Every structure is written in C-alpha cells, then in structure tokens.
Structure 1
Amino acid sequence: MIFLFRIGFLEVSWVDLIDIALVSVLLYQIYKLIRGSIAVNIFLGILALYLIYLIVRAAQMELLATILGQFMGVGVLAMIILFQPEIRKFLLVIGRGTEFRENIFKSISNWRSSYHDEFDIHQVIEAAKTLKATKTGALIVFSRDVELKFYVETGDPLNAQVTKRLLLSIFNKNSPLHDGAVIIYKGRIKAARCILPVSENDHLPAHFGLRHRAAVGMSENTDTLVLAISEETGRLILARNGKYLRGLKLKQVEQRIVDYLHKAEPANWEEIPQEEAESESRL
C-alpha cells in the first residue's frame, strides 16, 4: 500500500482518499433525498440523542448510559422503519442510474419505441388544453417501464385507448371517476380513480393542493412522469423525480412527455429557457 502523507500517527493512502470521497458522495445523496422533508428533523433528533449518549457514557453516568444504550442497540432497525420512504427512494435512484439496468433493457428498447410511436400524445395535449381552460382538475401518470400494478389496483381498471373524449369524460366534475389519477402504460389507460402517494416535501409552494402534491409524491416514489392540473386555478405542472415544472406551454409539455417515453430527457430536466416559459399569471 502506497502512503501519501502522515497526520500525527495516522498514515493516509490513496485508498483512504477514495474511501472518504465515496462516503462524501453517499452522504450528499442522502442529504438530497431527505432535504425539505420531515426526515431531516428525525435525523437531527437521532443524531442529538447519539451525542447525548456519548457524553453520558464519557461522564460514566451508568444508569442513563444503560437506558440510552438500549435505544442505540436497536438504532439500525429503528432507522430502517423511520426512514423507509427515504431508503426506498435511495434504492430507486441507484436502480435508475446503474449501467447494468440500462444494458438489461437495451435489447428490448426497440420494442418499446414502437409502442411510443403508436401512442398519440396529441390526444392528451388536446385534453389538457380543454381541462386548463375550464379549470377542471386532472392527474395523469405516464409510466414507461413499469405497469404500476399496486397503484392500478387502487382504482377502477379500464385498459382503454387514450383519447381526448375519454380523458375529458373521466375528469368531468360530475364523473364518479374524476377524483383520483389516470395511469397510462403502453399507450393505454390502465385505470382511473387511482390513489397516489402525497409528497411530504416542506419546500413545495403553499398554494399546491393535493393533486399537485400527489403528482410530486408519485414522481418521488416511482419512475414516472406525472401531469397535474389544478381545479382552482387551472395551473399545470409536470413532476419527475421529485421535481416539478410549471409555466410550460402545451407544446413544451408535449415535448417533455415524448422525451420521457423515448428516454431522451435532458440532464437538467427541471430547467427551462426563461424566454420560452409562460408567466404564471397567464396560466
């Protein structure tokens, strides 16, 4: 092993530097996952409890140290339970980014693209145009790789072709199917009135209602693209990977959906040219 330098009695090598760099990246990814959520407060509480435990043990306060030690003994299990959503999102990020996963699906990517070409995006865009104009609430989930059976089973199965008329009928305020989400997979509406997870991100705008929060929450928990239209204001957002875009023109919305379905999304997905965005006052 080649040592680079020595700090007191510590000998630092290339392996140590790589180790520190990897841990730094890991901690940064964890921070990005829990940033803005209630998990930050839980993490700080656990950290404070651990520091108190170290101080109590150093002060040789045996009784209190024993009690706190029992909590520390089950700390890993407690963290798994408390941070279950964040751990799930972290594993999802790893699954999305691995080269292995890309290679596995590369052989069937051409088959998927044929489905994307058959999927008439214009039907969705025309429906969104009408829904925005009439301030009719809507929630549409686009799934590229996964059928989302868990969420499909929470609603009413349809397995119908995507058409403007059907979408307008589903989200009509007098329709029994309007309250919930539509899930589109392989060019077909798999189900309507589906229940989606609501985001707990504290940094979301205060005017975001349940539809917008459900759109962000669904994008946090699954590899989907979600379109939401507010019933109160007619505002439209697109949510992806826990991030959202608003102030988009319908042409931009169409392009984002096409990019998602064809796996051609830009690296800076959440950024849009200022000159191309609509002002929120016009939505």
Structure 2
Amino acid sequence: MLDNFGIRDIIDVILVAVLMYQLFNLVKRSGTTTLFNGILAFIILWIFVSQIFQMRLLGSILDMFGNVGLFVIIILFQDEIRRFLMNLGSNRTFNTIAKFFGVKKQASIKEDSITALVLACMNMAKTKTGALIVIEQEIGLGMYESTGEIINSTISTRLIENIFFKNSPLHDGAMIISKGKIEAAGCILPVSQKTDLPKSMGVRHRAALGIATETDAIAIVISEERGKISYAVQDKIYQNVTPETLQNILNAALRANKNRAANQTTSPTQPKDS
C-alpha cells in the first residue's frame, strides 16, 4: 500500500488536513465543537469498520447512516457552511481574478467619512441613543442589506443620528456602510448564540458579535442603557472604548484595505486596544 504512496497522495492528505482544520475553527467559533467531534469520531469508526477490518454487517449498518449523513450535516451546519463559502469567496485569489476582469471593489468607508461616523457615535453615546452600525470589509453584506431599507446616501453625522433617533422607524435595526456610503438601515443581523457573554450585553451587542463572527465586518454598538461605545471584529467584542480608540480602529481598517488593494494581500483587522 505504501509502495504506491506518492506526491499526489501527500498533497491529498495535506489538503484534507487543512480543510478539517478550517472546519474545526468555524465550528469552534459557533460553539458546536462537541457535535463536530462526534461526527468526526463516527467517520473514523466508519473507516476502521468498513475499510480496515472489513466488517460486513456492522459496515453495512454504518453505510446506511452514512448515506443520509451528508444531508444531516448540511442541516446541522448550514450556518457554518455558509460562513465557509463566504470566506472562500472573499479570498484574495478570487479578488485577484475579479480585478483581472476589471471588477474593482470600492472602499467600504472613506477617510473623511470616519470623522463624521465617530462624531455621530460620540453624540449618540452622550444622549444614550442606541445604535448598531456595520462597516463592510472584504465579505459582501448584500444579503443583510436586503432585510432593511435601502438608503444609498452619503455618510453624515446628522443623518446617522436621525436614523437612530428613538422615534425613527429604522432605529431598532442595523445600519450597513458599504462602498463609502450608508447603503441600508433597519437591517436584521444574525444574533450570536454564545453562552459566555455578560448579561449586560443586549440584543444589539449580540447582533454585532453575530455579524462579526459570520463576516469580517466591523460592527459598532452604542449602548442605550449605559451610553458606552463598543465594537466587534473577528468574533470578539470590545466594550467601553473611547471615540479616539474607535477612530484609530477605523483608520487602521482603511489603511489595511488600501494595502490589500495595492499589494493583493489579505491581513485581518487586528484591534490594538480596547
């Protein structure tokens, strides 16, 4: 058996290992690690029974479960599969192909708009006006924009404050900033199912963490109860940040986007302070 083991088989094993590692990271972030380990243990048992020990009776029983197992896995891990495909579609290889055909991705937010956004967040924090603002990065948020009202407007401090005014019909949903504009408001976002979050975090914080887990977006939250600014990125949330810290984070994200566009490289946005 090992005599026929060549370079192609080595590449095959490496690709499977990388795929399993990526899948494990996805399910780990979603809190379904135990379920994933159970499925992995079943697959290993199936291989031993059917291929190595060649137990016909037990192997046939496991084969029956295996035939429907694919559909069960799709149902159980539909969110993780969608997240994996979204991450795959945002890969720099696909971005390079898109740019080769002349498809250029515009910056999610411009430098002069960051000041207006931070000022709006600071004003809403002072008046304890609840808000949830999501800034698109590499992964598109079109599917979430469709759940709200399309605005497609220039970013301005007054407009942001008016949208999240308590009597506004759109204040309960999320605002999505994309391509340098306010694309939509009143949007519905996925809510994080993490069980280790502080009880002080409300639905807005969980929605911010949910969108940051499923995509590479930056989600800003203004607490209605405490009047504090928080932001979520890469499945982590940072509470009670200052307007200066928020501006530094957004400026760093803008620089990272410019570097990706110039160098065809991708590097996740890493917060420097919280």
Q: TM-score, normalised by structure 2?
A: 0.77
- Are 1:131 and 2:124 an aligned pair? yes
- Structure 1 residues 114 and 83: CA distance shift in structure 2, 3 A: closer
Deviation at 1:180, TM superposition (A): 0.8
Q: Residues 249-264 of structure 1: matches in 2 within 5 Å?
A: 249-262=242-255, 263-264=257-258
1:47: how far off? 4.0
Instruction: Give the one of 90, 94, 107 matched to 1:96.
Output: 90
Q: Given the superposition, is the C-alpha separation of residues 100 and 47 from structure 1 closer, same or farther in structure 2, using an over 3 Å criterion?
A: closer
Q: Give matches, 1:186-265, under 5 Å.
A: 186-262=179-255, 263-264=257-258
Query: 1:226 is paired with a residue of what secondary structure?
Result: strand
Is the alpha carbon distance of 1:61 and 1:19 closer, same or farther for their aligned partners in structure 2, counting shifts above 3 Å? closer
Q: What letter is aligned with 2:67?
A: G
Correspondence for 1:27 among 6, 12, 20: 20
TM-score in terms of structure 1 length: 0.75
Cα distance in 2 for residues equivalent to 1:194 and 1:19: 42
CA gap 1:146/1:24 in 2 versus in 1, 3 angstroms = closer
Aligned counterpart for 2:160 among listed residues 167, 186, 190: 167
SS in 2 for 1:74: helix
Instruction: Tell whether 2:10 aligns with 1:10.
Output: no
Does the aligned pair in 2 maintain the 1:215–1:239 contact within 8 Å?
yes
Distance 1:113 1:186 in 2: 5
Q: Identify the match of residue 116 of structure 1 among 110, 122, 141.
A: 110
Q: 2:144 touches 2:188 (CA, 8 Å); kept in 1?
A: yes
Distance 1:28 1:145, change over 3 A: closer
Q: Say which SS state the counterpart of residue 225 (structure 2) adopts.
A: coil
| SS of alignment partner, residue 227 of structure 2 | coil
CA contact under 8 A between 1:177 and 1:193: conserved in structure 2?
yes
Name the larger-Rg structure: 1
Secondary structure at 2:191 match in 1: coil
Cα root mean square deviation, aligned: 3.5
The letter of the residue matching 1:151 is: Y
Structure 1, gaps ≥5 residues long: 1-8, 278-283
Partner of 1:272: 272
> 1:101: Cα distance to partner?
1.5
| Identity across the alignment (%) | 37
Q: Which residue of 2 aligns with 1:178?
A: 171
After TM superposition, give the deviation of residue 203 of structure 1 in Å: 4.8
Distance 2:99 2:184 in 1: 25
Q: Is the 8 A contact 1:37 1:202 kept in 2?
A: no
User: SS of the counterpart of 2:213?
Assistant: helix
Instruction: Name the amino acid aligned to 2:65.
Output: F
Output the CA distance in 2 between the equivalents of 1:114 and 1:73. 44
Aligned residues between the structures: 263
User: Is this contact kept in 1: 2:134–2:219, CA < 8 A?
Assistant: yes
Matched with 2:133 is: 140
Partners of 2:120 and 2:271 in 1: how far apart?
Answer: 25
Where does 1:55-66 land on structure 2 (aligned, <5 Å)? 62=57
Change (3 A) 1:51 1:178: same
